[in-house]
Amino acid sequence: MSDVAEGIGLGGTQALDERYLMRTYKRAPVDFVRGEGPLLWDAEGKRYLDFLTGISVCSVGHCHPDVIKAVREQTQRLMHVSNLFYTEPMAQLAEQLSESSLGGRVFFANSGTEANECAIKIARKHAHGRGVANPEIVSFESDFHGRSYGALAATPALAANEALGPMLPGFRAVPRSDAAALREAVGENTAAVLIEPIQGESGVFPITDEALLAAREACDEVGALLIFDEIQTGMGRTGSLWAYEQTPVRPDVLTSAKGLGGGFPIGACVTGPVAADVLEPGDHGSTFAAGPVATAAALAVLAIVDDPVLLRHVRELGAYLCEGLDGLEGVRETRGRGLMVGVGLEEGVDAAAVTADLLERGLVVNAPRPDTLRLLPPLVIDSDHVDLAVGLISESLLGFAPR
């Protein structure tokens, strides 16, 4: 296969994008046309090492043969019938998600945001069941839960955009990992504490065990639900199938998406026993969700990542990656767990500029904040890929580090 596509090239694509796409994204000047494992190729045939994986979506690498096989077989047999009927991959995926985590029931969605919408509905209805008239959901200030109005209300930094108001009421936020403030905020009206166990979009900040324990205890005291948004942290990213497994707490509900479908859009809201039967017929639904192709893809992904050998590999390689990065010129600290890594840069080093330079050098990462690079490589890379990435980051930072 030629690496050079016969298409309209970067210039042509940019011209169409400029004219016809809404201006919601600032894109990097590259037009990717092919991917394989940890590698990507652009329209000019240039090769890249992908340490972002479409924001932790292609966690098993690009175009994994098992995912392709599952999708191809399913698309040839049946693509869609709606949730008015039974389909086998949906039921099997629900079983595997439940049995690998909280043991209750699953609602499927098409994205992370939608998985969180389901969790928010569960939380509010569960609270009404306790006699709470005005249920409230508590999150951390720099949490990210999505961009629809429910998920947005639980994403304080974006909900502050008054041009999009009014926002959904019934949400409040406390400073990240502030156990005392969290305890203070949780009361009789609290429906749920909805948090990311490791904040991803705001720059890779693990929540302290102390704050997680405070959240668990505070929820238990009032009968509120503890909801973990594992959309970015789940599916093996941190070196356990779910991030909560490496914390001292177990949530009542978790949400998954991103890596779940290996590139196919699918989300899931997974409950434990307390929240399993809250939603009833008529409470929620989705036309596309749990379709046979997306669920078949997710089953193939789970077969790869729900494997103790792979998960140990993720923990070991994550430690190796951080070892390589810590102490580099320009690196202040590394944060995260497994292969979810935030690289805090020295003052004066602009992460966006480093990200653009790394793209030139053939390494794909992103800058979730001005002082941080985020690395979300495929879980199936080996130490050679890590060495290559660390080498490129080291070289790049030499050009940026303040002297």
Binding site for ligand PLP (CB under 6 A): 111-113, 116, 144-146, 196, 200-201, 229, 231-232, 257-258
Kindly report the length of the chain: 403
Single-letter amino acid code for the residue at 248: P
Provide the β-strand partners of residue 39: 36, 49
**Contacting residues for 93 by C-beta, under 8 A, at least 6 apart:** 106, 108, 268, 290, 295, 298, 299, 302
The residue among 91 and 160 lying less far from ligand PLP, judged by its C-beta, is 160
| Cβ 175 to ligand PLP shortest distance, Å | 18
Token pair 């390689």 is found at 317
How many CB atoms neighbour CB 210 within 10 A? Answer: 14
**Contacting residues for 287 by C-beta, under 8 A, at least 6 apart:** 82, 83
| Cβ 114 to ligand PLP shortest distance, Å | 7
Query: 3-class DSSP state for residue 279?
Result: coil
The residue among 190 and 255 lying less far from ligand PLP, judged by its C-beta, is 255
The residue among 33 and 67 lying less far from ligand PLP, judged by its C-beta, is 67
The residue among 201 and 371 lying less far from ligand PLP, judged by its C-beta, is 201
Q: Give which of 277, 338, 328, 336 is closest to 305, Cα–Cα.
A: 338
The residue among 42 and 117 lying less far from ligand PLP, judged by its C-beta, is 117
| Cβ 77 to ligand PLP shortest distance, Å | 26
| Cβ 199 to ligand PLP shortest distance, Å | 8
DSSP 71-126: HHHHHHH-----TTS--HHHHHHHHHHHHTTTSS-EEEESSHHHHHHHHHHHHHHH
The residue among 200 and 262 lying less far from ligand PLP, judged by its C-beta, is 200
| Cβ 145 to ligand PLP shortest distance, Å | 5
The residue among 146 and 292 lying less far from ligand PLP, judged by its C-beta, is 146
The residue among 74 and 155 lying less far from ligand PLP, judged by its C-beta, is 155
What is the 8-class DSSP label of residue 266? -
Query: 3-class DSSP state for residue 21?
Result: coil
| Cβ 151 to ligand PLP shortest distance, Å | 7
Q: Are 338 and 239 in contact (CB under 8 A)?
A: yes
| Cβ 229 to ligand PLP shortest distance, Å | 5
Sign of CA dihedral 385, 391, 392, 394: positive
| Cβ 116 to ligand PLP shortest distance, Å | 6
| Cβ 106 to ligand PLP shortest distance, Å | 17
Query: CA 324, CA 385: separation in Å to the nearest integer?
Result: 12
Query: CA 37, CA 53: separation in Å to the nearest integer?
Result: 10
Q: Which residue is nearest to ligand PLP (CB)?
A: 112
The residue among 266 and 279 lying less far from ligand PLP, judged by its C-beta, is 266
Single-letter amino acid code for the residue at 296: A
